[in-house]
């Protein structure tokens, strides 16, 4: 892993840190690629039960680094920056494991879209939350008007996108944008305790419930449905018989039940 996206594992909890504090953890293309790779690693770590997502230094993330995209052509900006970043954040949102965002500092623009890909958000009391893109002549591009509208409600996203409103942590809590507010410096410890609580729950049930919630939100529905159905069918004797029959070049003798 690069030093700008770090992944640490302790017991059943992984911590994913955006580590570019000198730039307020703003993303460039390399960091998006590293985040995608980290998601692949997390899904392959079968002993992990929960993931904490946080930022190094005084910010959670200031979003996309303007220097990384400001000089791109419109086509490159749309496909190489916006569409690719959207796919990476979708990948994070679709992790099989619950993700807890520990908002240790401001979450702005793409930083709030990053936090919105998590399942639970813990905010420190001093932080600000917003989607300032229209003030730069841009629109949110990493699902700010889509996933965030589904998860937070369209009206609060309107206020941030159209009106440029910045929310305090307490305002964000009252509007359902964050789930808990803690004192400054306490988000990571709170997230660690929360993750440990998730890890004590039924792992298969938690992962299945996350897929069902994705279905309820209309997010990744086809993949969620086929994943759940495939897991169920893979546990049957018919699946074992089908694989064996293929290997032995014979007709399978299916029982047709769910055992």
Residue 133: closest CA among 70, 184, 197 = 70
Dump pLDDT digits (tens) for 85-105: 999 999 999 999 999 999 999
Domain range holding 151? 5-199
Burial of residue 146 (CB within 10 Å: 0-12, 13-18, 19+) is middle
CB 242 within 8 A of CB 234: no
- Among the listed residues 133, 217, 219, 248, the single catalytic one is 133
The average confidence (pLDDT) of the chain is 94
Instruction: Check whether residue 183 and residue 207 sit in a common domain.
Output: no
Side-chain-side CA neighbours of 27 within 13 Å: the count stands at 31
For residue 207, tell me if it sits in a domain.
yes
pTM of the model: 0.93
Q: Which residues contact 136 (CB under 8 A, 6 or more apart)?
A: 66
- Among the listed residues 113, 217, 241, 248, the single catalytic one is 113
Dump pLDDT digits (tens) for 200-247: 999 999 999 999 999 898 887 777 788 888 888 888 998 898 899 989
Instruction: Check whether residue 183 and residue 227 sit in a common domain.
Output: no
pLDDT at 2: 58
Instruction: Check whether residue 146 and residue 241 sit in a common domain.
Output: no
Instruction: Check whether residue 224 and residue 157 sit in a common domain.
Output: no
Instruction: Check whether residue 176 and residue 151 sit in a common domain.
Output: yes
Structural domain count, the chain: 2
Share of the chain above pLDDT 90, in %: 83
Instruction: Check whether residue 115 and residue 223 sit in a common domain.
Output: no
Q: Which residues contact 46 (CB under 8 A, 6 or more apart)?
A: none
For residue 259, tell me if it sits in a domain.
no
Mark whether 226 is an active-site residue: no
Share of the chain above pLDDT 70, in %: 98
Q: Which CATH number characterizes residue 63's domain?
A: 3.90.226.10
Dump pLDDT digits (tens) for 35-94: 999 999 999 999 999 999 999 999 999 999 999 998 889 999 999 999 999 999 999 999
DSSP E strands, the chain: 5-10, 13-18, 50-55, 59-61, 99-103, 106-108, 120-124, 128-130, 167-168, 180-182
For residue 217, tell me if it sits in a domain.
yes
Instruction: Check whether residue 81 and residue 63 sit in a common domain.
Output: yes
Check whether 1 has a pLDDT greater than 60: no
For residue 253, tell me if it sits in a domain.
no
Mark whether 133 is an active-site residue: yes
Instruction: Check whether residue 58 and residue 124 sit in a common domain.
Output: yes
Instruction: Check whether residue 147 and residue 192 sit in a common domain.
Output: yes
**Cα separation, 239 vs 243, whole angstroms:** 6
- Residue 35, SS3? helix
Instruction: Check whether residue 243 and residue 176 sit in a common domain.
Output: no
Instruction: Check whether residue 161 and residue 92 sit in a common domain.
Output: yes
């Amino acid at each position: 892993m690069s030093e700008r996206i770090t992944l640490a594992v302790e017991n059943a909890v992984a911590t994913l840190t955006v580590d570019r504090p000198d730039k307020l953890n703003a993303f460039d293309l390399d960091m998006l690629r590293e985040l995608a790779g980290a998601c692949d690693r997390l899904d392959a770590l079968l002993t992990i039960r929960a993931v904490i997502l946080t930022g190094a230094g005084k910010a959670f993330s200031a979003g996309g680094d303007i220097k990384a995209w400001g000089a791109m052509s419109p086509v490159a900006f749309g496909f190489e920056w916006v569409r690719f970043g959207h796919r990476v954040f979708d990948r994070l949102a679709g992790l099989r494991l619950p993700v807890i965002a520990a908002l240790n500092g401001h979450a702005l623009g793409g930083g709030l879209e990053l936090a919105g890909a998590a399942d639970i958000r813990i905010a420190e009391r001093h932080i600000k939350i917003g989607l300032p893109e229209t003030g730069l002549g841009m629109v949110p591009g990493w699902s700010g008007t889509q996933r965030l509208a589904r998860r937070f409600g369209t009206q609060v996203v309107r206020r941030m996108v159209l009106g440029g409103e910045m929310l305090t942590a307490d305002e964000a809590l009252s509007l359902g944008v964050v789930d808990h507010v803690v004192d400054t410096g306490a988000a990571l410890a709170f997230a660690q305790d929360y993750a440990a609580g998730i890890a004590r729950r039924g792992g298969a049930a938690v992962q299945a419930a996350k897929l069902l919630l994705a279905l309820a939100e209309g997010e990744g529905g086809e993949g969620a449905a086929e994943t759940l159905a495939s897991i169920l069918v893979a546990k049957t004797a018919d699946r074992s018989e089908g694989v064996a029959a293929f290997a032995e070049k014979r007709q399978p003798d299916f029982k047709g039940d769910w055992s």
